[in-house]
Chain A
Amino acid sequence: MNVLELDQVCMQIGGVQINRDVSVTLRPGDRRALVGPNGAGKTTLMNMAAGVLRPTSGRVRLGGRDVTSMPVHRRARRGLARTFQITNLFPAMTVAENLAIALQVADPRRLDPLRPWSRARRLWSRVDELLEQSALTAIKDTRVGELAYGDQRRLEIVAAVARPCSVILLDEPGAGLSSEETETLLDLVFGLDPELAVLFIDHDVDLALRLATDVTLLNLGEVVAEGTPAEVRAMPVFSEIYLRGPADARR
Chain B
Amino acid sequence: MSRLLVPAAVVAGIGAPFVLDVFQIGLVTRGLTWGLVALSIWFLLRLLDQPSFGHAAFFGTGAYVAGLSVTRWQQDNVFVILALAVLVTAVVALPIALIASRLDSIGFLLVTLAFAEMLRSLALRWRVLGGSDGLVGVTRPGAGPFGIDLTDPVTYFYFALVVTAACVTGLWLVRRSSFGGVLVAIRESESRMRALGYHVGAYKVAAFLLSAAVAAVGGVLNAYLVRFVSPDDLGPLVSARGLVIVVVAGGLLTATVLVAVLLTFGEDLASSHTEHWLAVMGALYVAVALLEGIRGSLARRPSAPVPDPVQRVAGEAS
Interface set of A (CB-CB < 8 Å, partner B): 50, 52, 71-74, 76-77, 81-82, 84, 88-93, 97, 100-102, 104-107, 109-118, 120, 123, 143, 145-146, 159-160, 163
A77 to B180, CA, bound (A): 21
Contact, CB under 8 Å: B192 / A90: yes
A109 to B180, CA, bound (A): 12
B191 CB within 8 Å of chain A: yes
CB contact under 8 A between A107 and B197, given known A90-B188, A91-B188, A113-B173: no
A108 to B119, CA, bound (A): 37
- Which are the 6 A-B pairs with shortest beta-carbon distances? A76-B197, A90-B188, A92-B306, A72-B194, A113-B179, A77-B197
Contact, CB under 8 Å: B178 / A107: yes
User: What is the total number of residues of chain B having a CB less than 8 Å from a CB of chain A?
Assistant: 26
Q: Which residues of A contact B72 (CB under 8 A)?
A: none
Q: Tell which of B185, B191, B194 touches A101, judged by Cβ atoms closer than 8 Å.
A: B185
Q: Which residues of B contact A88 (CB under 8 A)?
A: 189, 191-192, 195
Could you tell me which residues of chain B, from 198 to 212, have a CB within 8 Å of some CB in chain A? 198-200, 210
Name 12 A/B residue pairs within 8 A (Cβ), A-sorted.
A73-B200, A84-B191, A88-B191, A89-B188, A90-B184, A90-B192, A91-B188, A93-B188, A101-B185, A115-B177, A117-B178, A117-B181
Contact, CB under 8 Å: A110 / B179: yes
A77 to B196, CA, bound (A): 8
Q: Which residues of B contact A92 (CB under 8 A)?
A: 184, 188, 305-306
A101 to B179, CA, bound (A): 10
B182 CB within 8 Å of chain A: yes
A120 to B178, CA, bound (A): 8
A109 to B305, CA, bound (A): 29
Q: How far is the CB of A91 from chain B (nearest CB, A)?
A: 5
B84 CB within 8 Å of chain A: no
Closest A residue to B302 using CB positions: A145
CB contact under 8 A between A112 and B196, given known A91-B188, A93-B184: no
Closest B residue to A79 using CB positions: B197
B174 CB within 8 Å of chain A: yes
Q: Which residues of A contact B192 (CB under 8 A)?
A: 84, 88-90
Closest B residue to A159 using CB positions: B196
Could you tell me which residues of chain B, from 259 to 274, have a CB within 8 Å of some CB in chain A? none
Q: Which residues of A contact B3 (CB under 8 A)?
A: none
Closest B residue to A120 using CB positions: B178
Contact, CB under 8 Å: B198 / A105: yes
Q: Which residues of A contact B305 (CB under 8 A)?
A: 92, 143, 145-146
A97 to B183, CA, bound (A): 13
Could you tell me which residues of chain B, from 163 to 186, have a CB within 8 Å of some CB in chain A? 173-174, 176-182, 184-185
A118 to B198, CA, bound (A): 20
Q: Tell which of B174, B189, B198 touches A113, judged by Cβ atoms closer than 8 Å.
A: B174
Contact, CB under 8 Å: A116 / B196: no
Contact, CB under 8 Å: A93 / B185: yes
Contact, CB under 8 Å: B195 / A115: no
A89 to B188, CA, bound (A): 8
Q: How far is the CB of B92 from chain A (nearest CB, A)?
A: 21
CB contact under 8 A between A82 and B195, given known A116-B177, A118-B176: yes
A112 to B193, CA, bound (A): 18
